[in-house]
Amino acid sequence: MTSTTQAPTPSLKDKVQSVLNLIRPAVQADGGDIELVDVSDAGVVQIRFHGACNGCPSSTMTLQMGIDRNLRERVPEVTRVLPVQ
């Protein structure tokens, strides 16, 4: 008799981090970076911009059109993405 062990299901935070890792090269190409700060049980993701992205007027557009959209498409549990300082 063989036992089948399933790999543990990735946590919500792990899923979010993997999507951010896909987005990161594009952000880094513009001289910035993004850091995952927290993911709440309610699906609220907090990120922090670094480098050129920190304080950049385009970071709001990057957040809404790139990061938020990608996270919601790939991780349906995500309800909101917020930048934090």
- One digit per residue, the tens of pLDDT, for the chain of length 85 reads 555 667 788 899 999 999 999 999 988 888 889 999 999 999 999 999 888 877 777 777 777 778 899 999 999 999 999 988 8
What's the predicted TM-score (pTM) here?
0.81
Q: Name residue, tokens 């670094």.
A: 50
* Side chain identity, residue 21: N
Parent domain of 77: 12-83
Residues near 81 by Cβ (< 8 Å), separated by ≥ 6? 44, 45, 47, 63, 67, 68, 71, 72
pLDDT, residue 42, reads: 95
pLDDT, residue 49, reads: 86
Domain count of the fold of the chain: 1
- Contact present, 81 and 63 (Cβ < 8 Å): yes
CATH code of residue 42: 3.30.300.130
Please give the Cα distance from 44 to 9 (Å, whole number). 20
